[in-house]
Structure 1
Amino acid sequence: MNAHSHTAHDPSCIFCKIVAKQIPSKTVYEDEQVYAFHDINPWAPVHFLLIPKAHIPSMAQAGDHAALLGHMMALVPKLALEQGCNPYPEGGYRVVTNTGAEGGQEVHHLHFHVMGGPRPWARG
């Protein structure tokens, strides 16, 4: 891992503060590498965020973190079902990550939105 690709914690980052329990959140899942929590402004009946505990700013810096990304993606189906998404193929969910200003990224800490549940949704 390159020093420029992530730091363990960014004291000014809201998601780092959530990981550090300095800002409350409703936990979905937690292990040594990742934290998942409910979105405070859900777009769908099921909407949670899955983030690495390490401060990786975006997908643009994720190239050195293939194992971590694989771990995160492998958790999505399990967590989506636990949170109330209906099973594939009739049910399902979306996994969305915004990268950079043109990608609509607002918090510069890598995060995956997992959204699902009965449609239609307000967005999506």
Structure 2
Amino acid sequence: MNNECLFCKIINQDIPSHKIYENEYVYAFLDIFPVTDGHTLIIPKVHAENLTKTPDLYLVEVAKAKKVVAELLQEKLDGVKGFNYVSNQEAIAKQVVFHYHEHILPKFKVDEGFLHDKNVNLKYATLEDVFNEISK
């Protein structure tokens, strides 16, 4: 773990998050700047700057977790019609936190925003509202 890394601090519970899934290898939580309701980040529990620097075991576990989280979001959030799965690598590609992570973006309608678009049509007022819906 990297003591300076935001996501490492979240994994270590030094910074609070709305965790929706966790296992030995990954941690999944709601993005604090959601593009869509249920916008989730999945991060490996090993510090690696990006996908190409992440050990294969953790890449496999992130992929498996993406499926579990997508199924959970599909089941718990009304109206999910699809998903975008997004990962950015390096600043030129708009990576902001340099700890490998995957975004899961539930899609509710055709013209919803993409990763860096602003979506003002969120159904839930707060992350707590989304978290409570997913946690039922």
Distance 1:122 1:85 in 2: 22
Q: Does 1:12 align with 2:4?
A: yes
Q: Which runs of 5+ in 1 are unaligned?
A: 1-8
Distance 1:123 1:73 in 2: 20
Q: Which runs of 5+ in 2 are unaligned?
A: 116-136
2:133 — aligned with what?
A: none
Q: Which has the higher helix share?
A: 2
Instruction: Give, as a single letter, the amino acid of the residue that structure 1 aligns with 2:53.
Output: Q
Distance 2:75 2:39 in 1: 10
Q: Would you identify which runs of 4 or more consecutive aligned residues in structure 1 move more than 2 Å?
A: none
Instruction: Give, as a single letter, the amino acid of the residue that structure 1 aligns with 2:63.
Output: M
Equivalenced residues, count: 111
What's the CA shift for 1:85? 6.6
1:93 — aligned with what?
A: 83
TM (norm. structure 2) is 0.74
2:34 — aligned with what?
A: 42
What's the CA shift for 1:92? 1.9
TM (norm. structure 1) is 0.81
Matched residue SS, 1:35? strand
Q: Does 1:28 align with 2:10?
A: no
Distance 1:42 1:93 in 2: 14
Distance 1:101 1:27 in 2: 26
What's the CA shift for 1:76? 1.3
- The alignment-based identity, stated in percent, is 32
Matched residue SS, 2:91? coil
RMSD: 1.9
Distance 1:84 1:38 in 2: 15
What's the CA shift for 1:46? 2.3
**Aligned positions of 1:103-118 closer than 5 A:** 103-118=93-108
